[in-house]
Amino acid sequence: MRNRLILLPGWGLGSAPLEPLAAALQGLDERLRVQIEPLPTSGSSDPADWLDELDANLPEDVWLGGWSFGGMLAAELAARRADRCCGLLTLASNACFVARDDWPSAMSKANFGAFREGCVVDADTTLKRFSLLSAQGAAEARSLARLLAGGAPHTAATALLQGLDVLAALDTRGALQAFRGPQLHLFAGADALVPGEAAGALLALLPDIEIGLIEQASHAFVVERPHEVAAAIQAFLHESGDD
């Protein structure tokens, strides 16, 4: 099913941010079937349980992709499926969302810990703050943040915290190195959540993959600049033989 792309959303904001991108992609190629798949609801903080649920629910032999957290999950699932996955694309996704000694190009542990604690105290306020961070760097940042927050589903604080714990635990470097299919990783030039240095670090780790940059764009570039992101994805799919 090389004409089918599954997209996984980021943390907390639901599927709505990916809808403009899906529409833009299908406008470029009416043969392409784009499916936005909600994040797992396994009730677990173990990444393996999330991947088990995705693996059971998603069709095989499709392109896997995702925005931010969703891209990290897509990378892990692509590696698990190996030749049963057509290819991988990630959008504003870091190999590690939280910094590690050998991967400093990420959010600091202190900042992530404070963010998680904020979610424990007041999940709704934390989601609004996350919307602001996601929109930071956009030309119309405040209106974009309001759009993101307004489209976010009501999610129990427990589920949000489980997602944050999975996000913090993921280190996709091994998966990205193991997956032999085509890969595209798009980054945003003004991303407040994934440092620009992450793109260079990823290219140093995997010099043969395709990496792109949407200049002067926020973390939420899937909403802010959907047509540019879609054009980059469509070119990648075409170059990878999906024509």
Active site residues: 68, 191, 219
Q: Give the amino acid at 88.
A: L
HSE-CB of 141 using CA atoms within 13 angstroms: 18
Kindly tell me the burial class for residue 8, based on how many C-beta atoms sit within 10 Å of its own C-beta (0-12, 13-18, 19 or more): buried
- CB contact set of 199 (below 8 Å; sequence gap of 6+): 185, 187, 211, 213
Q: Distance between CA 51 and CA 55 in Å, rounded?
A: 6
Element (H, E) at 212: strand 210-214
Residue 191: both structure tokens together: 């991303």
Q: Distance between terminal CA atoms of the chain? A: 12
**DSSP characters over 1-66:** -TTEEEEE--SSS-SGGGHHHHHHHHHH-TT-EEEE-PPP--S---HHHHHHHHHHHSPSSSEEEE
